Structure 1
Amino acid sequence: MPRDTRDPSGPPPAPVRRILRLFRPYRGRLAVVGVLVGASSLVSVASPFLLREILDTAIPQQRTGLLSLLALGMILIAVTTSVFGVLQTLISTTVGQRVMHDLRTAVYAKLQRMPLAFFTRTRTGEVQSRIANDIGSMQATVTSTATSLVSNLTSVVATLAAMLALEWRLTLVSLVLLPFFVWISRRVGRERKAITTQRQKQMAAMSAVVTESLSVSGILLGRTMGRSDSLTRDFGDESERLVDLEIRSSMAGRWRMSTIGIIMAAIPALLYWSAGVLVQFGGPTVSLGTLVAFVTLQQGLLRPAVSLLSTGVEMQTSLALFQRIFEYLDLTPDITEPQQPVRLTEARGEVRFEGVTFAYDTDATAPTLDAIELAVPAGSSLAVVGTTGSGKSTLSYLVPRLYDVTGGRVTLDGVDVRDLDFASLARAVGVVSQETYLFHASVADNLRFAKPEATDAQLRAAAEAAQIHDHIAALPDGYDTLVGERGYRFSGGEKQRLALARTILRDPPVLILDEATSALDTRTERAVQEAIDALATGRTTLTIAHRLSTIRDADQIVVLSGGRIAERGTHHELLALDGRYAALVRRDAHAGVTEGSTLA
């Protein structure tokens, strides 16, 4: 399997302001979270002050009433902070999940607008990985990291303020190592960010391998070629690389962060020592209650401080994930809807190619299509023939705007297709290709993909017109039968007829048939052709011809050669011309093939 060999250092980090804009629609809820976090932090730091009063006043003076009130206050503080914590988690998780939903939807919508060329050069697994793995890996960041940052930061600030109020000298002792801790966390963050970028690319590579090799087509190819074992080894190699990256990501800076925890846990001993030294050298005496309360605050500072440093590391790591998502969101579709599109309420179906030129690569020495002039009147049929690479399929792709012309224009009812809104163009042009695609869903769901509101009677009428109803009705579950991945429960001819039924249900005035019967045997092709003939009646039909039987009755036949029109006319006119078309016919006749033979 080919591997992704792009720069492992990854893209530059995503701008923080852009990330914050994702949360803008939910700023009201986030404000509530901020209030809850602040209140919880302020309430929690009050507990050590109550403890000081218990140790310095209530117990020594044997004031039972005061002791009871202070103890009850500590219990109420614990209950209050717990309630605030649950509410804050609920709201922040909801906001985070909504942000993830927005990201997933935005990426999917952007990909839906990308041209066909994007998907011909991008592995399916890579696309899936961006939506599933990258956004999935960001879940912790968008659901809890932001809240954790605010919560821990507020706790740290409130605790430091309380510590300063209790004893400022001991506070300075507690903070002497803070710059060292910040330096370590930044180092760890940079290290993990680099590893995360490599890890996500490796996950994308694995997704591509799974998508390609574990599809029905991939399994068939692997087994018939005897490559199942080698594919397993290739997958194992990819998985082994991911294991290494996961371990490196998990352990990156682990010893450094552990050092921080050990030092902060040892600080209470340093505080007791410092309090004793202050007294010995004539400093102010620190009461037992103050010292215990201070150490309690300091221990309370340990968890949010370490968590805050870890959160900083996670946020640095998440920047790489955000940037991979933003890369897709920043893609510029080559084919866009005009700002003031023309809407066709009812298309007649007249198609024209006016000086059309097209090249897949702008640097190509010769275009794929060059100076094509064609007129297809509404309700008429055009057949296009030619050798492989002559531009037949490319010509058909220009009508539904799967690609845009690089010169000239294609018109539908006199309107440049680039000026039409996407909905009008989709309603007006139907495509049936050689490669039939069916979803892993029921027959009825696959048919209704063309017309979601279609009734059962309409489904049956379309299936009857495509000559597939009797076969569907004979199945145990009828129209509720699952077709299997890519329709593998059906034969090639059956899938083609299902595709035709789907197109019949849409009832488009313009029909494009891209070698729709070329891969079928003669008997199946005859049945499918009858369905095609029924579908083509009264429609403008553009047929990419592969077999003589599909085009001899066309109103107009065009022969392409090197991207240019070499000949045009009816079947009989082109035979009389005795040119390229006649040569194709003679070649097949010489091969001893009947009229259902291959032309190109």
Structure 2
Amino acid sequence: MSTTGTRATSAILRTATGREATRWVAAHTREVPWLTSAGVLTTVAGAALQVVPVFVLGQVVDGVVEGGPRSVLVTVGMLMVAAALLGSATIAASTYLIGRLGADLLAKLREAAVQAVLGMPSARIEQVGRGDVLSRVGDDVAVVSKGIRTAVPTVFSAGVLVVIATIGMFGLDWRLGLAGAAALPAYWLALRWYLPRSAPLYQKQREAQADRAQALISGLNGIGTVRAYRLENAFREQVTSESWRVRDLGVEVFRFFGRFVGRENRAEFIGLVLIIVVGYLLLEAGAVTLGEASVAPLLFHRLFNPLGAIMFTFDEAQKSGASLTRLVGVLGEAAEDRLVGHAAAGSADAGPYRVTVEGLTFSYPGSEHPVLLDVDLVIPAGGSLALVGATGAGKTTLAALIAGIGTPQAGSVRIGSTDLAGLDEAGVRALVSILTQETHVFSGSLADDLRLAAPEATDAELMDALRTVGAEPWVAALPDGLTTMVGEGGERLDGTKVAQIALARLVLGRSPVVVLDESTAEAGSQGAAELERAVSAACLNRTTLLVAHRLTQAMAADRIAVLDAGRVVEQGTHDELVALGGRYAQLWRAWQDGS
């Protein structure tokens, strides 16, 4: 099904650029300036205190060479211990503050991503598949969470330490500083080689994981069909194939990272050799003391751990970065899909609305033939229209478009005077409710399940809705009434009861227009008559479009429209269409013979 906006043909959800993700992080860190500032200051102080013992050791060397008193060693030792203790406390504070800042950012990102997915047009979810959606709000959140706990604090604190240690080497002698800095291009070249190649590789890995999730979800959701047609091996092979693709990409990532580590070791070797050689030459020339010449390689060696941490954690940082762009991309997509128009039922006149369909044409992405072609329909305010036709005629597609799911290539759907194309998802849901045969009971109490449609509804209102659809007797017989647990792990409900719960939600929703897409088809013949009465009660005084699974349902509608190959070929009442002797009359005779 096509979605709103310009990205209808996209097969997966949007992925943000690195710059967009950075802007999102920067904007949210500015919302907590004290926490951000405290994290930065404690990190800088902790890094500075880590290099203090190295400089103090240089003073010890010079003191020994100059024959200073032994008492200086006690003073130096106390300074080193104090610096180490204070540095440890500062680093601990820095880790806590950065972790808390990261946790706050993650909480905001997770909440925004879930909210964006929940507010996304239904057609978009159907188009990209639930595997991609679930991998973002599940796997990607987990990856970013791990990165915030490990990679982000490590990279930031190590980067600050590198800067301070490099400044310290320049403070000893500018030539020693240059010698140490000469290794930085080798590090930079290693990163420059690694980053552009690793980001797409990690992105491919995340997409492969989403494809694997989608394959698994598809098989589990359709497990009944899979078993009926003996397709277990085919689906197992599909999941296995996707799993091997994830594994192969993981091996490729590991092998690629190993080559990166080799370049990092080469940079360390270059820097250490240069500092030792330059330090020796400067010592021979009398330009530096032995203590200063000793401090320089120690300072550079002190950089091994932070530089190595940066390099080694870049693996995790890249994964976190790839997941961050996917999550921020969901936020960006939600913004694209959110149209300017926000007209809702509350802004229109009270009462039922007329539904007008004009010149509606729709094709699925990649299809050359339209599913619907130049469809015109009118449902009077408060009236009902039944759609009938053979399988594949376009009934479900037309019902979805009238419910605001998807955007036609041509034509319009208007509720009253409002064109659905100008509304966002919330605006459409305020005007139209759709009920399909894929009804679902969520795990929890019956009351909570019903309040999905009306969160503020009282128990009395819930019982009124259940009474309207004929469910009051069996609900009253439940062990705990409205508080009885239903869904997975709760009370087992048959198809008729599940359909009644869905119809009760429809009553509570109070939208003026109702679309029923074979919503009682799964109830079975025993509950069919009962549910048809429930449907009539739930749709009383509401404009109703009914995709008729049984022609007895069509008979009860004010008017009937017959679809054939995406076109409306007949319209009228049941008696008029039977007397006409056309397509509907053929369907009616076939129905009677089958009955």
| TM-score, length basis structure 2 | 0.84
1:387 aligns with 2:390: yes
Q: Spell out, residue by residue over 1:218-237, the C-alpha distance to the aligned partner (whole angstroms, 9 max, x if none).
A: 2x344444444554454344
Q: 1:368 aligns with which of 353, 372, 379?
A: 372
In the other structure, the counterpart of 2:286 is: 284
Structure 1 residues 268-306: Cα deviation after superposition (integer angstroms, max 9, x where no partner):
788667766666xx5228655444433432321222232
Match of 2:76 in 1: 70
Q: After TM superposition, list the pairs within 5 Å mapping 1:151-550 onto structure 2.
A: 151-215=157-221, 217-218=222-223, 220-228=224-232, 231-254=235-258, 256-257=260-261, 260-261=264-265, 264=268, 282-284=284-286, 287-310=289-312, 320-325=322-327, 327-331=329-333, 336-339=338-341, 341=343, 343-344=346-347, 347-361=350-364, 364=368, 366=370, 368-378=372-382, 380-419=383-422, 423=426, 425-476=428-479, 478-484=481-487, 489-550=492-553
CA–CA distance in structure 2, aligned partners of residues 55 and 267 of structure 1: 23
Whole-Å Cα distance in 1 between the matches of residues 475 and 244 of structure 2? 46
**Distance (whole Å) between structure 2 residues aligned to residue 445 and residue 541 of structure 1:** 26
Amino acid at match of 2:583: R
CA contact (8 A) 2:338 2:424 kept: no
Aligned to 2:7: none
**Are the equivalent residues in 1 in contact too, given 2:21–2:324 (CA < 8 A)?**
no
Shift of residue 201, structure 1, vs aligned partner: 1.9
Query: Which of 88, 92, 101 does residue 95 from structure 1 map onto?
Result: 101
CA deviation after TM superposition for structure 1 residue 550, in Å? 1.6
Q: Distance in 2 between matches of 1:487 and 1:370?
A: 47
Q: 1:586 to 1:269 in 2, by over 3 A?
A: closer
Cα contact 1:115–1:333 (8 A) shared by 2: no
- Work out whether residues 349 and 509 of structure 1, in 8 Å CA contact, stay in contact via their aligned partners in 2: yes
> CA, structure 1 residues 392+235, in 2 after alignment: closer, same or farther (shift >3 Å)?
closer
Which deviates further from its counterpart, 133-142 or 502-511?
Answer: 133-142
Residue matched to 2:58: 52
**Could you say if the C-alpha distance between residues 369 and 391 of structure 1 is closer, same or farther in structure 2, counting changes exceeding 3 Å?**
farther
Aligned counterpart, 1:117 = 123
1:478-503 deviation per Cα after TM superposition (whole angstroms, max 9, x unaligned): 44444435999432222111111211
Amino acid at match of 1:492: G
Is this contact kept in 2: 1:383–1:556, CA < 8 A? yes
Cα 1:466–1:131, aligned 2, differ >3 Å: closer, same or farther? same
The amino acid of 1:461's aligned partner reads D
Contact kept in structure 2, 1:350 and 1:540, CA below 8 Å:
yes
| 8 A contact 1:558–1:567 mirrored in 2 | yes
Q: What is the CA–CA distance in structure 2 between the aligned matches of 1:417 and 1:268, rounded to whole Å?
A: 68
Q: How far apart, in 1, do the equivalents of 2:19 and 2:421 lie?
A: 37
- Determine which structure has greater relative contact order: mean sequence separation of CA pairs < 8 Å that are 6+ residues apart, divided by chain length: 2
Q: Distance in 2 between matches of 1:447 and 1:509?
A: 19
- Residue 443 of structure 1 and its aligned partner are, at CA, apart by 2.4
For 2:512 and 2:324, the matched residues in 1 are separated by 44
SS at match of 1:22: helix
Unaligned stretches of 5+ residues in structure 2: 1-12
SS of residue matched to 1:121: helix
SS at match of 2:545: strand
> Partner of 2:439: helix, strand, or coil?
coil
Q: CA deviation at 1:514?
A: 1.7
1:490 aligns to what SS in structure 2?
coil
State the Cα deviation string for residues 498-538 of structure 1 (Å, max 9, x = none): 11121122233333222222333221112212222222333
Identity, in percent, stands at 27
Q: 1 CA distance for matches of 2:425 and 2:473?
A: 35
**1:117 counterpart letter in structure 2:** A
- CA change 1:547–1:89 in 2 (3 A) is same
SS of equivalent residue, structure 2 residue 563: strand
Matched, 1:81 2:87: yes
The correspondence for 2:68, drawn from 58, 61, 74, is 61
Superposition deviation, residue 451 in structure 1? 0.9
Moved more, 477-486 or 191-200: 477-486
What amino acid is the match of 1:573? E
Of 573-582 and 228-237, deviating more is: 228-237
Distance 2:273 2:386 in 1: 90
Contact kept in structure 2, 1:13 and 1:320, CA below 8 Å: no
Tell me, what secondary structure is at the counterpart of 1:129?
helix
Of 558, 566, 571, the residue aligned with 1:568 is: 571
User: 2:488 and 2:544 mapped to 1: Cα distance?
Assistant: 30
Residues 150/430 of structure 1: CA separation in 2 closer, same or farther (3 Å cut): closer
* Contact kept? 1:497, 1:531, Cα under 8 Å: yes
- Superposition map of 1:139-154 within 5 A: 139-141=145-147, 145-154=151-160
Distance 1:123 1:561, change over 3 A: same
Residues 224 and 492 of structure 1: is their aligned pair in 2 closer, same or farther, counting only changes over 3 Å? same
TM-score where L is the length of structure 1: 0.83
What is the Cα deviation at residue 74 of structure 1?
1.9
After TM superposition, give the deviation of residue 111 of structure 1 in Å.
Answer: 3.6
- For residues 123-155 of structure 1, give each alpha carbon's deviation from its aligned partner in whole angstroms, at most 9, with x where no partner exists: 211221133223433345555545544433332
Is the Cα–Cα contact under 8 Å of residues 363 and 370 in structure 2 kept in the other structure? no
Give the secondary-structure state (helix, strand or coil) at the position aligned to 2:347: coil
1:361 Cα offset (Å): 4.2
Q: Structure 1, residues 236-264: CA drift from partner, whole Å, max 9, x if none?
A: 44333323322332342325525644874
Matched AA of 1:307: A
Q: Report the count of equivalent residues.
A: 579
The answer to whether the 8 Å contact 2:166/2:181 transfers is: no
Question: 1:418: Cα distance to partner?
Answer: 4.1
Change in Cα spacing, 1:558 to 1:250, as seen in structure 2 (3 Å) is: same
The whole-number CA distance in structure 2 between the counterparts of 1:149 and 1:377 is 63
Provide the rounded CA distance (Å) in 2 between the counterparts of 1:225 and 1:285: 85
RMSD: 3.7
**Whole-Å separation in 1 of the counterparts to 2:524 and 2:340:** 44
